[in-house]
Chains A and B, each alone.
Chain A
Amino acid sequence: MRKNKLFFMIIFLILITVTLVGCGEKKSTQENIREAKQSKSTFSIKYNGVEVVPGTEFNENLISEEANFSEIPSCAFEGTDKMYTYSGVELVVTNIDGKDKVYSVYFITDDVKTAEGVGITDTVNKMIEVYGENYDQSISNKYTYTKGEVELSFIVQNNVITSVEYVLKTNS
């Protein structure tokens, strides 16, 4: 009887511990990614007539232009990223929940424009005209707009846009 009491007390203490530590449960990157998946991305870009939306599945066959392809270890996720370098943009595609999804779109040339018509060599004034003033400016020459789970960033030098990139937010 005493032994049973002792046994149940130990089990009770273990249960309390496990329950308490459960309160501190931290979201894993994968869980964050899953959440990202569920949110609708609202920024997108049309490249060669094909709509590319960060956070959605990527089908390279849809883009007629042939890309230079490489795989490099992922910075944001585990495993490797697939890099598709076209003449106008570079797409980073990463594996999220077993599917190849667009992680980022980086503009290489100034003839590529965002869906709203802004690209490299345009002015900050044009960017503000198009996207408004609701941007994040953690670095003085970098303007970041967020819609859904996608961030659209412009880097600016002397009032002229020098870099445009869409990135899927990961919260990791």
Chain B
Amino acid sequence: MKKTIRIIAILLIFVLIFIFLNRLLKPKYAENLVEGSMINQYYNEPKDHEVIFIGDCEVYANFSPLVMYEEAGIKAYVRGNSQQMIWQSYYILKETLKYEIPKVVVFNVNSMKYDKNSEEVSEAYNRLTIDNMKWSKEKIGIIKESMTEDETFLSYVFPILRYHSRYDELTEEDFKYLFKNKENTYNGFLINKNIKPVGNLPVKRVLASYGFSSECYEYLDKIRELCNENNIKLVLIKAPSLYPYWYDEYEEQIRKYALENNIDYYNLLEKAEEIGIDYSMDTYDAGLHLNITGATKLSKYFANILMENYNLTNFKGDPVYDEKLNEYYEKIK
């Protein structure tokens, strides 16, 4: 009997140490590579958003929901991650709809140009998007769809399989955020106050193919169907990032898709001048993403489009959002 208890005790201690090591060795994304912390910040949010943005860095860097609240009283959240591929966007949208049903889903179409063979698909970006996602059917789906050839499903279940070699890279951050997360975004918007003007953009490469892949269309269809099933208005956008290039051939395909499926599409890159974006001061990385001044201009502009066209509620005066707005302004001072 005593022997059995001893074995159980040993196994229990082993399991606890194993769990502890998994947590310890997994990157915390709290102060470094903060893009990896965005996915899980959503879980602590009140789930009363009428607008959900889905997409890659072109949404989390360019659209500030709190500016939209201030401008038009919109409650929005950005569920975007670095290099978030369209199949990942689908699963993240699906997960979001388990928590809340917004009136509008805004999807940034930039990722339509990447298929599963694109060099932009990488384990590093997969990890940033998936590591901190809550376990669910959607997480299992996103892992299966996203894994590169060298990755294993088990390494997502037990991060120690992937990160065991980090034992000699552990920093204070790993201990400080062992059992807590750091809130790095404001409703999914990642603030950047730096300025790096657009200079010499790379030469526009000739591509072997400009056609979107069938798998990207398949996921765009799935996103559209998911919205239809839940009575959500799907809106497509192209954010005003100058690079990587958005080719005319891409634009043509999206316009055609939007027209055929009766979806509203806004190319905000074409509206940059009307929005008032000045690429000599409104970008932090020479035209790839907008900085705080650029994002503010864009968010105000787009908030008015949303308010005028999609029957949204004006939540101005909401105490939770007013407090968030104060914190936001403290941060961007």
Identify the A interface with B (CB < 8 A).
6, 9-10, 13-14, 17-18, 21-22, 24-27, 29, 68-73, 75-76, 83, 85, 90, 92, 106, 108, 138-139, 141-142, 155, 162-163, 165, 172
Contacts and interface: CB of A to CB of B under 8 A. Distances in A.
B183 interface: no
Interface of B: 6, 9-10, 13-14, 17-18, 21, 117, 119-120, 122-124, 150-152, 155, 158, 160-162, 164-165, 199-203, 205-209, 243, 285-286, 288
B120 A85 contact: no
A22 B288 contact: no
A155 B208 CA distance: 6
Contacts of B288: 72-73
Contact of A72 (B10, B120, B243): B243
B164 A70 contact: no
A91 to B, nearest CB: 11
Given A17-B18, A26-B150, A69-B200, A6 B6 contact: yes
A75 B10 CA distance: 47
Contact of B10 (A13, A17, A141, A163): A13
B265 to A, nearest CB: 26
A70 B14 contact: no
Contacts of A29: 124
Contact of A172 (B122, B160, B165): B122
A10 B206 contact: no
Contacts, number: 82
A72 B152 contact: no
Contact of B203 (A24, A71, A108): A108
A90 B204 CA distance: 10
Contacts of B164: 18, 21-22, 25
A6 B208 CA distance: 63
A16 B87 CA distance: 37
Contact of A155 (B9, B201, B207, B243): B207
Contacts of A155: 206-208
The 7 closest A-B pairs by CB, nearest first: A163-B206, A142-B208, A68-B200, A70-B200, A139-B208, A21-B164, A70-B199
Contacts of B21: 14, 17
16 contacts: A6-B9, A14-B17, A25-B165, A26-B150, A26-B162, A69-B200, A83-B200, A108-B203, A138-B117, A141-B208, A155-B206, A162-B206, A163-B205, A163-B206, A163-B207, A163-B208
B160 A85 contact: no
A116 to B, nearest CB: 20
B286 A71 contact: yes
Given A70-B199, A83-B200, A10 B17 contact: yes
Given A29-B124, A139-B208, 5 more contacts: A17-B160, A24-B152, A70-B200, A90-B202, A163-B205
A10 B10 contact: yes
Given A21-B160, A70-B286, A75 B120 contact: yes
Contacts of B18: 17
Nearest to B57: A73
A85 B6 contact: no
A153 B155 CA distance: 35
A76 B286 contact: no
A138 B203 CA distance: 24
A72 B155 CA distance: 32
